[in-house]
Chain A
Amino acid sequence: MALKSKHQRLVLALIALVAIIGAGLLAASALKDEAAYFYVPADVKFKGFTPGKAVRLGGMVVAGSLAHAPDGVTKTFTVSDGKASVPVRFTGIAPDLFREGSGVVAEGKFDAQGTFIADNLLAKHDERYMPREMEGMSYDPTTHKVTGANQP
């Protein structure tokens, strides 16, 4: 590839343009997959899920649903967004702010039966940390009612 033309600048600019458009397309196609990266329980109920794919699930931990397995490091609980709920099994050390009735984002994947197998939990660090998809979601501990997030 001889670049020694009078138009070397033009050629370089074209190559740069092609590279940047290529990157844009690559990013766009990857983002399309990514749009399905975050689930709330309603998505699972109405849109279904792909078993084995690495995703995040966000919602409120339903009070009274938390149970501990005999191995000491596995917990099961139910996550709800007011419209639907999903069973979750988590093996690991839960963050300090993880408790019933508070928000949680679980990282992991669905098994074939629709149980979410979490390998990491992100609990709300403080009032200022809330996943975007869960803004507006709240939980009433007396009525066990979850007020839904404004998920489209």
Chain B
Amino acid sequence: MIAELGLAALWLAAGLALLQLVLAALGLGKGRAELLSGVRPVAVAQGLLGALSFGALIALFLRSDMSVLLVAMNSHSAKPWLYKFAGAWGNHEGSMLLWVTVMGLAGALVALLERGLKRETHMATLGAQAAISLGFYAFLLFSSNPFARLNPAAPDGQGLNPLLQDPGLAFHPPTLYFGYVGLSVAFSFAVGALLTARVDAAFARAMRPWVLGAWVLLTIGITAGSYWAYYELGWGGWWFWDPVENASLMPWLAATALLHCVTVLATRDALRAWTVMLAVVAFSMSMVGTFLVRSGILTSVHAFAVDPERGSFILVLLLLYIGGALALFGLRVGTVREGRQFEGVSREALLVVNNLLLTVILGVVLVGTLYPLMAEAFGHKISVGPPYFNAVAGPIALVLMLAMAVGPLVRWRRDEPGVVAGRLLWPAGLMIGLGAALGVAAWGKIGVLPFLGLVVAAGVALASLIPLTKRNLRRTPLFTYGMVLAHLGCAVSLGGMAAESAFTTERLVAMKPGESVEAAGWRIRFDRALPLAGPNWVAMQADMAASRGGEDIMLHPQSRFFSSPPTTTSESAILTRWDGQLYVVLGEALDDGRWQMRIWWKPFVTFIWFGGLMIAAGGTLTLIGRERRGWMMRLRRHRAEQSA
């Protein structure tokens, strides 16, 4: 019954999306303004019905209703409730339903909250949003129905991939999806503005919170995904340039560029056409990301949904939306008048540099990710791996970091190069000093990129704080704090990456119980290995004691065996200290009673994800600061009108 209810709600929501599109199109195209008043209520109802449908799917998973195909394929009655819950979107159909649900709710929010736009632009935006949603409703209903029944019902489910049975799963994919959806809203705003020839500062202000929100969520999603891969895969790495990771990185790069140029448009009314173009690119990247992940077209440890038919469906949607948007851009860009101009040394110019470098990195990652596909079309089979991405994207990213250090210290419109150089005296001095010290201490021991990374991170960290100097900190707007925090986060994260690559200590040993090993000042003793049983797994668990001069700290790395589906995973033991992490992996038992152990000391590795969280927190502060200012201004105007 619940399944039928969910399916009915989904069909109704799809019907309302169609109605929303038709009302907006007729209202604007035929000038029948009375139809436009229906658009907003329909958008809200569509969002609520989508949420009802998703709620039904969650209920089915929580009840372990094995008469529903999706539940039987991806869940198991013995799973802990959290993974039953998260299992609802840990599969293809459920994740697409989550996508349209969030998209519908976002559309409802745009309908309810947006006040700054002209009515026509607002309605055109909602119409565009309905058009995007329709494609995804069609995809769900015609090729990925999450509510399909299984007759007769299965006695029990097949379980969820054990690698995915982790609290990280509960948050990682939805966060990314929310980010993708935020970019779809930004795209709808761009389409609405193009259609009604209103690409201006008001459009930028309306779009900005969605770009910021999407960017914050993508940042959190990527950070969480990186940490998940780090502790769950047991390989000690935090980024593998896996196509699925790239699929989340590319929209982030585009969103980062968009977020900076939308600020130029909102503040200075410049870079109009480029902002619209970037909105199209950012949404395209989230579609490309969805296509790569959902079609399973690329070799990947993450590709758990291999289905060419679905891949083709998403590919058609992708081409339709991107092609349509580019055609619209080409047709309407003539109506976008040139914005205000600026000098070669100005905040605007530095933000253009930011956008160019980000776009270039995006292009490099995109080419590297898609190249194997293109090569295969010509009969060559090729993998593109970390050497390519690190060698090409790494140096450009370092230049981008340097531009990030300079940008906030340059005034809008025009500035004097000499004065800007003066403001950069301290960071430049720090970089030279640190570079010399590191060069003397560790020349030849660390790679070029980690060396430059450490130096640049220090300089950027110092430079990012300068905008807070020589001003009244209590009257500094919240969004300035947000920017400083986010830029400092980039430096912290870069520092963590560079320190980890430069100074990691690794020990690979086979130990008998009672033996010890030294690693970077730590003494790690292996006491025993014992069997252990969990709710749906059995494991071998090692008891180990680590100490660094002080007391023993117990560590318990495991090798886990899951029965449904049969898989072994390695649960690493991680000990976090302020200056790094001790990472212990239990390997296999040898015939002579020894156990393989892999031990890493990774100095400052936590800075990578801590920096990511700082970036997200900075974005959140900026979002709150900007929105609060907008609401305050509206409130003041409202009061002024009432008293008049």
Contact = CB atoms under 8 A, between A and B. Distances in A.
B344 A2 contact: yes
Given A3-B342, A15-B356, A71-B510, A27 B363 contact: yes
Interface stretch (B85-93, B365-373, B496-504): B365-373
The 8 A-B pairs at the shortest CB distance, nearest first, are namely A72-B510, A1-B344, A93-B587, A96-B568, A23-B360, A27-B367, A133-B381, A34-B388
Contact of A26 (B273, B364, B567, B594): B364
10 contacts: A4-B343, A15-B356, A20-B359, A20-B360, A31-B368, A33-B388, A56-B383, A71-B509, A73-B587, A152-B380
Nearest to B559: A96
Interface residues of A, number: 48
A37 B384 contact: yes
A68 B364 contact: no
Interface in B41-99: none
A34 B382 contact: yes
Interface of A: 1-4, 8-9, 12, 15-16, 19-20, 22-24, 26-28, 30-31, 33-35, 37-38, 54, 56, 68, 71-73, 91-94, 96, 120, 125, 128-133, 135, 149-152
A73 B368 contact: no
A9 B300 CA distance: 41
A30 B388 contact: yes
B18 interface: no
A113 B344 CA distance: 56
Nearest to A54: B387
Contacts of B379: 152
Contacts of A38: 382-383, 385
B510 A27 contact: no
Contacts of B590: 68, 72
A129 B382 contact: no
A93 B542 CA distance: 15
Nearest to B586: A93
A19 B274 CA distance: 15
Grouping DSSP codes into helix (H, G, I), strand (E, B) and loop, the B interface class, with mixed when no group exceeds half, is mixed
A141 B117 CA distance: 69
Contacts of B357: 19
B235 A120 contact: yes
Contacts of B388: 30-31, 33-34, 37
A68 B304 CA distance: 33
Interface string B332-362: 0000001001111100010010001101100
Contact of A35 (B367, B382, B508): B382
A17 B364 CA distance: 15
Contacts of A71: 509-510
A86 to B, nearest CB: 17
A31 B356 CA distance: 21
Contacts of B539: none
Contact of A37 (B387, B392, B594): B387
A150 B587 CA distance: 34
Contacts of A20: 359-360, 363
Nearest to A74: B508
Contacts of B338: 8-9
Contact of A132 (B299, B356, B396, B510): B299
- Residue of B296, B299, B381, B396 contacting most chain A CB atoms (<10 Å): B381
A37 B375 CA distance: 14
A131 B296 CA distance: 13
